[in-house]
Structure 1
Amino acid sequence: MKKIWLTFILVGFVIGLSACSSATSEEKRKLVFGATVPYSDMLKEGVVPILEKKGYSVEVKEFNDYVQPNIALDSGDLDANLFQHKVYLENFNKEKGLELIDVVSVPTAPIGIYSVQYGSLDEIKEGSTVAIANDPTNLARGLTVLRDAGLLKLAEEINPVTVTVKDIEDNPKNLKFHEVDAAQLPRSLESVDLAAVNGNFAVAAGLDLTTAIYRDQIPDEIQNRIVVRDGDKDQQFVKDIIESVESKEFLQVIDKHFQGFHKPKWMEE
């Protein structure tokens, strides 16, 4: 009698394990991405269709800030996100004690200097007004692109993620800075001489990225990346995401719908 009961227990245990395994497998066929605009559109148009062909069900959740997508990923509410570059990710991990990793870089909308008044950098007059973002992350990017355009000089020993106007060492054209909400930068062009606008906000406002009088060249560490939890790096769904991004189909979507985006080195090779 004991042997019979033991057999039932073992069979039940095996069935239970099988059920758990099936549930885990099924769960991983349902992926949730977090992204900001326009990267949510990039996922929907260029990545999701490929993953669906591979048998996944994919949901894309849009965020309007640069904090919650990482918090949600770490907590397990997301399986991956797309909105940040490597420098930001490394700083975020350090500050929050997280273990998130980037797995593949994607074409990135460059921050650009836009102007209604001027058609080139050479035309910018002394004392011109410049709109820059008022939040730390976008402010830093705005100042660094103004530096790269030769309009100002920043202190050499700076953290590229935390740069502020206090780090300006030389301002040869005596530019006057106006800090506004990053999403409002495109609208500010009506009241200032030029503005340093992040690519995502430029796209959202309908600006043509190719009309900027200067566009950030975006070094590799500033290219946006798809990010996952470190513990998932060897999971099949992560491998499938990478394969989707590196596909010819994804490149075709980029060339057709995301002109002006700076492609990562691997895509240009």
Structure 2
Amino acid sequence: MKKRYALLATGLLGAALAGCGDSGAEKNDKAIKIGATSGPYSDMVKKAIQPQLEKKGYEVEIVEFSDYIQPNIALANGDIDANLFQHSIYLKTFADEKKLDLTGLVTVPTAPMGLYSSKYKTLDDVPKGAEVATPNDPTNQARALHILEDAGWIDLKDDADPLTVSEKDIVENPKGIVIKPLEAAQLPRAVDSVDVSAVPGNFALAAKFDLLDALVLEKMDEQYRNLVAIKTADADKALAKDLKAAVESDQFDKVIDASFEGFSKPERN
């Protein structure tokens, strides 16, 4: 079960945050805990969100997690007030299966999946018949196939569900690429053994890849962007509003531009 949830999350990977609080609450209600997976998303909370909340009087503690199970359990139990680590597909799947009442509040810039190679410098350099490693879980393989289609290497059925498209939906393969499905965690290492590897952003960052070294980064669908998650009961409380305002602020964008190069930004109204 842990393996299944880890793969669903794609880079990371994925994201979430939010919490409880009320603008007229006592001081103790301003002491909050925000959970995040260790690495770029806990850094994002620390650098881009925490300072803004503290200016509004919150006392923020960041709780780091090393897996994709406990952050949502902790949120549902009230041990933390918000979390940031997952995308909306993972959140819905996890919450439905565990019968948790959680809600995505606002999406954040997210590390995209990319095509990486230790043999070739550009997409045009990759020869016909190249071996391409892709994630073997359905959600992330669909993302990888869309990157390959955008690169002009394959064509997919027009009527295929974009979220569940698989190898059987490939109708044209003019480059003659050979797809090699692997567990997502193996994809960074596969860069040295195949021609090209489609690596989800969270695994790329964990392997110390520079996102900008990718041959190409995905055109990320909004459903794959990490988000701030909260308990549904807290969606109209002051903390939820303050978290959303922080993520959508100019100050937040400045931190992202300075410290999170290559992250794909959500579209804002």
Q: Report TM bin, short chain.
A: 0.7 to 0.9
Give 2:137's aligned residue.
135
SS in structure 1 of the partner of residue 188 of structure 2: helix
Q: Mark the CA change 1:168 to 1:72 in structure 2 (over 3 Å): closer, same or farther.
A: farther
Give 1:17's aligned residue.
none
Aligned residues: 246
CA RMSD of aligned residues (A): 2.7
Q: Match of 1:218, as an amino acid? A: M
Alignment partners' CA distance in 2, 1:201 and 1:166: 26
Equivalent position to 2:44, from 42, 45, 55 = 42
Whether the 8 Å contact between 2:30 and 2:57 is mirrored in structure 1 is: no
Alignment partners' CA distance in 2, 1:68 and 1:156: 38
Is 2:262 the partner of 1:264? Answer: no
SS in structure 1 of the partner of residue 134 of structure 2: strand
Question: Please, what TM-score do these two structures have when normalized by structure 2?
Answer: 0.78
Structure 1 residue 96, shift from structure 2 partner: 4.3
Q: Match of 2:207, as an amino acid? A: A
Equivalent position to 1:106, from 105, 108, 116 = 108
Structure 1 residue 128, shift from structure 2 partner: 0.8
Q: Match of 1:60, as an amino acid? A: I
Whether the 8 Å contact between 1:113 and 1:212 is mirrored in structure 2 is: yes
Whether the 8 Å contact between 1:38 and 1:204 is mirrored in structure 2 is: no
Alignment partners' CA distance in 2, 1:37 and 1:156: 38
SS in structure 2 of the partner of residue 251 of structure 1: helix
Give 2:127's aligned residue.
125
Q: Mark the CA change 1:93 to 1:157 in structure 2 (over 3 Å): closer, same or farther.
A: farther
Whether the 8 Å contact between 1:87 and 1:161 is mirrored in structure 2 is: no
Question: Please, what TM-score do these two structures have when normalized by structure 1?
Answer: 0.78
Q: Mark the CA change 1:69 to 1:147 in structure 2 (over 3 Å): closer, same or farther.
A: farther
Unpaired runs of 5+ residues, structure 1, are: 1-21
Q: Mark the CA change 1:157 to 1:188 in structure 2 (over 3 Å): closer, same or farther.
A: same
Report 1:1-269 matches (<5 A): 26-35=28-37, 37-266=39-268
Q: Mark the CA change 1:209 to 1:157 in structure 2 (over 3 Å): closer, same or farther.
A: same
SS in structure 2 of the partner of residue 265 of structure 1: coil
Whether the 8 Å contact between 1:109 and 1:261 is mirrored in structure 2 is: yes
Alignment partners' CA distance in 1, 2:177 and 2:185: 21
Alignment partners' CA distance in 2, 1:65 and 1:164: 27
Alignment partners' CA distance in 2, 1:251 and 1:31: 23
Give 2:6's aligned residue.
none
Q: Match of 2:123, as an amino acid? A: L
SS in structure 1 of the partner of residue 253 of structure 2: helix
Whether the 8 Å contact between 2:134 and 2:180 is mirrored in structure 1 is: yes
Alignment partners' CA distance in 2, 1:180 and 1:24: 51
Alignment partners' CA distance in 2, 1:244 and 1:195: 35
Q: Mark the CA change 1:257 to 1:124 in structure 2 (over 3 Å): closer, same or farther.
A: same
Alignment partners' CA distance in 2, 1:163 and 1:70: 27
Structure 1 residue 231, shift from structure 2 partner: 0.7
SS in structure 2 of the partner of residue 116 of structure 1: coil
Q: Mark the CA change 1:142 to 1:40 in structure 2 (over 3 Å): closer, same or farther.
A: farther
Alignment partners' CA distance in 1, 2:159 and 2:238: 41
Unpaired runs of 5+ residues, structure 2, are: 1-23
